[in-house]
């Protein structure tokens, strides 16, 4: 009787079967990747577009917020400037003293316009670089040669410059700072101050700055 050993054949068949299964599994994975890849790429593009749109919207919001803040600041500054103009109108209409007093106030809140002004500023130790727009008046009262002034300024340095100018003016005497405090209105920060002193009407006309 002839015997045939089939074990090597079975092992070979098992190897072939395993190899075929591996190939089928790999093909299935590749096929799944190929099927899902366009979907993944499409979703990835959607996410990128969404991120870009969100960034654009956020930038628009930031720009709008900046414009709103700028508008609020301008409105606050406009209100303060109108208050300052109102005090000037009050001084002029009330004629509480000689016209030269009003002129001197305007000189105090001015910048040098020519060489004569420059010399006057230097003599009085006034800063030629100071911007008078950084300070304004809210109230001005005068009685019996005494005055009381309430106003605002961007910083304490602006108040100090204003006091230096008033103190060296020939029409103002005994100028004193009564109060100075940091204040905020609608995100606009400034220094609110109060100054008192005396007015001297009988002064010979002298060359003034800014005029």
* Residue partners of 152: CB distance under 8 A and separation at least 6: 80, 135, 136, 138, 183, 190, 191, 192, 193
Residue 1 has pLDDT above 60, yes or no: no
Q: Which residue has the higher pLDDT, 46 or 38?
A: 38
User: pTM (2 decimals)?
Assistant: 0.53
Residue 105 has pLDDT above 50, yes or no: yes
Superfamily of domain 71-199: General secretion pathway protein M, EpsM (3.30.1360.100)
**Every domain of the chain and the residues it spans:** 71-199
pLDDT confidence band for 96 (50 / 70 / 90)? very low
Find, among 112, 142, 105, 146, the residue nearest to 127 by Cα: 112
Residue 94 has pLDDT above 90, yes or no: no
Residue 210 has pLDDT above 60, yes or no: no
pLDDT digits (tens, 9 = 90+) for 61-90: 777 767 666 655 665 665 566 555 555 555
Per-residue model confidence (pLDDT) at position 207: 46
């Amino acid at each position: 009787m002839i015997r045939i050993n089939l074990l090597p054949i079975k092992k070979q068949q098992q190897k072939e079967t395993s190899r075929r299964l591996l190939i089928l599994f790999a093909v299935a994975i590749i096929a799944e990747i190929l099927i899902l890849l366009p979907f993944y790429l499409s979703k990835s593009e959607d996410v990128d577009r969404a991120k870009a749109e969100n960034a654009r919207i956020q930038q628009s919001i930031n720009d709008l917020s900046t414009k709103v803040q700028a508008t609020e600041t301008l409105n606050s500054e406009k209100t303060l400037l109108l208050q300052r103009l109102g005090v000037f109108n009050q001084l002029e209409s009330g004629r509480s003293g000689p016209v030269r007093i009003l002129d001197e106030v305007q000189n105090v809140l001015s910048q040098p316009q020519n060489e004569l002004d420059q010399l006057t500023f230097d003599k009085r130790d006034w800063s030629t670089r100071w911007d008078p727009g950084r300070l304004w008046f809210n109230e001005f009262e005068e009685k019996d040669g005494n005055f009381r002034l309430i106003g605002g300024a961007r910083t304490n340095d602006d108040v100090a410059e204003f006091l230096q100018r008033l103190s060296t003016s020939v029409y103002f005497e005994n100028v004193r700072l009564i109060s100075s405090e940091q204040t905020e209105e609608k995100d606009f920060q400034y220094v609110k101050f109060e100054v008192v002193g005396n007015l001297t009407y009988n002064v010979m006309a002298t060359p003034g700055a800014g005029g």
